Amino acid sequence: MPRAQRPARRPARPAREGAASQRGRDSRPAKAPATDGPVLELDVERIAHGGVAVARHEGRVVFVADAIPGERVRARVADASKDRFWRADTVEVLEASADRRAHAWPEASVDRAPERRAGGAEFGHIRMSRQRALKAEVLTDALSRFAGLERDVVVEAVDPAHAPGVDADAGTGWRTRVRLHVDRDGRVGPYASRSHTVVPVETLPLATPELQAIARLSDRFAGAESIDLVAPAGGAPELVIDAPRRSPLIHEEVLGRTFRLDRGGFWQVHRGAAATLALAVQDAIDADRFDPRAANLDLYGGVGLLAGAVIDRFGETVRITSVEADERATDHAAANLSGTIGAHAETGRVDRWLERLDAGADRLLRDRLARATIVLDPPRAGAGREVVERLAALKPAQLVYVACDPVALARDLGTFRNFGYDLETLRAFDLFPNTHHVEAVARLTARV
């Protein structure tokens, strides 16, 4: 994920300026999980999409938070409103996995009551290598179930060279954007998982050291609704109370290229994520299929990160159009790509923009589209059938798909297969350590 993203995710893609109106966000119920549900002893079987594990009780599926496959736990039922499954929170570990560790965020530990656990670090109790293995299992399972693809996947850690100050072994110190909430007494903290309950905290271990230093977690912010912490690569860290809708400009630096964007606009959260994805997209493009004079596209393009990556690999003669629904992001993309004569940025919902493109395309344009490389970085919900069908109808030479949700990616890959495009390469990256989120980059080409 699911990725390109705003001052806070969610992750996640694990969470991109770019398509604020098109990118899905995880919704949270207004009520906290039940605190008086029955307590069950459960044998945890496997991991599920969404950061929870799967167990069974009298034939019913129970999704269990804060557990690891292979463990035996006592878990309190937090939601029994569905007939097919229940949700539960681990309250005691009876037989622990060898991969269980002290939680990376003490305020999210299983030692706390579930309603007092900070949300946003649902894998923090798991050793890092096992976290990545579990994310790979989820992606592998999604590919099999929704795309009919049997494929081994390895989730790669972020190269430390792109993430100074990040503790890769602990999975901490990586978040350059954090949103905290304020309760009615002015106390600040994250929400509890699946809740709008604010959990006051004393630490923010996933945040960069610069943000930890300015967080003011013990202060009271009476009358405020939220606190944003932002640490751009090209400026000083900031604490912002109730961030305005129209925010000042900041600058991010990625692989020698500078991007301007709104402070409240979408950007990759992990300190090394933008560089990781830019390099992965560059690597995913098959140079033999790339034509710099074709009608190359960067869809859901945000402020131009991936279009810039394409230009940086193939040179300033590249023709590429970035399409983004958010007008402010499009303006920034135009400025960020202005050094390349053949680069353009257009505002539009991708589905409607493609519809207009198809309707107005003459023979010459269709030939240029058939030689094109199309990069797409859709919201968490994925591109969807309509967009996939329109893209396949353009018959591009190759597509590079950046995904922040494994199930949405797999569904779209399955649809692409139905329209004649097959998966050639796939890489996955752990851009949201200590959460369940995972990002993937895939290349698709037309079936011969």
Determine whether the annotation assigns residue 268 to a binding site: yes
Q: Measuring CA to CA, which residue among 87, 39, 37 is closest to residue 66?
A: 87
| Count of positions (residues) in the chain | 448
* Exposure b/e, 201-235, CB count within 10 A at least 16 = b: beebbbbbebbbeebeeeeebeeeebbbbbbbbee
Label each residue of the chain as H, E or C: CCCCCCCCCCCCCCCCCCCCCCCCCCCCCCCCCCCCCCEEEEECCEECCCCCEEEEECCEEEEEECCCCCCEEEEEEEECCCCCEEEEEEEEEEECCCCECCCCCHHHCCCCCHHHCECCCCCCCECHHHHHHHHHHHHHHHHHHHHCCCCCCCEECCCHHHCCCCECCCCECCECEEEEEECCCCCEECEECCCCCECCCCCCCCECHHHHHHCCCCCCCCCCCEEEEECCCCCCCEEEECCCCCCCEEEEEECCEEEEEECCCCCCCECCHHHHHHHHHHHHCCHHHCCCCCCEEEECCCCCHHHHHHHHHHCCCCCEEEEECCHHHHHHHHHHCCCCCCEEEEECCHHHHHHHHHHHCCHHHHHHHHCCEEEECCCCCCCCHHHHHHHHHHCCCEEEEEECCHHHHHHHHHHHHHCCEEEEEEEEECCCCCCCCCEEEEEEEECC
Q: Which of 1, 404, 423, 431 is catalytic?
A: 404
* 131 labeled binding residue: no
Determine whether 404 is an active site residue. yes
Beta bridge partners of residue 156, listed in sequence order: 429
Distances (CA, A) of 187 to 79, 223, 224, 352: 27, 10, 10, 44
Find out whether 389 is annotated in a ligand binding site: no
> Checking phi first, is residue 55 left (phi over 0); if not, alpha (psi -120 to 50) or beta?
beta
For the annotated binding site, the residues are 268, 300, 324, 377
Please identify every residue annotated as catalytic.
404
For the annotated binding site for S-adenosyl-L-methionine, the residues are 268, 300, 324, 377
